[in-house]
Amino acid sequence: MLAVASGTVSHVGVIAGKPTISVLHADGIRSTYEPVGASVRTGESVEAGQTIGLVESAGSHCTSTCLHLGAIRGAEYLDPLLLLGGWRVRLLPLHGPPARGP
């Protein structure tokens, strides 16, 4: 798993039985990654695109390995796609073959 932006690791641990990482960015947004086994420590500075851990499949509800990316400013949850900038994101259905599109 790569950090979506530069910042400081604000949390490494387990929440609700899932390994999680949070990174606080200069704009006050905190990115959260779950389930990710950390290769970083709380308080460590990270750069955008730096490896922060490995996505784990153990205990996931997904039929294959998946990442839950979150974005929070204070107590307000934001659309995590804002963290991905101009990247094109394709969401696949939970069951069945991927939808075909343009």
Instruction: Please say whether the beta carbons of 69 and 91 come within 8 A.
Output: no
CATH of the domain at 40: 2.70.70.10
- Domain membership of residue 41 (yes or no) is yes
Percent of the chain topping pLDDT 90: 58
- Domain membership of residue 92 (yes or no) is no
- Domain membership of residue 93 (yes or no) is no
- Average pLDDT, rounded, for the chain: 85
- Domain membership of residue 96 (yes or no) is no
- Domain membership of residue 2 (yes or no) is no
Domain range for 54? 7-84
The pTM (predicted TM-score) of the whole model is 0.79
pLDDT at residue 95 in the model: 62
What average pLDDT score do residues 71-86 get? 85
- Domain membership of residue 78 (yes or no) is yes
Our count of domains for the chain comes to: 1
- Domain membership of residue 73 (yes or no) is yes
What are the pLDDT digits (tens) for 54-76? 998 765 667 677 888 999 999 99
Distance separating alpha carbons of residues 7 and 26, to the nearest angstrom = 6
pLDDT at residue 17 in the model: 86
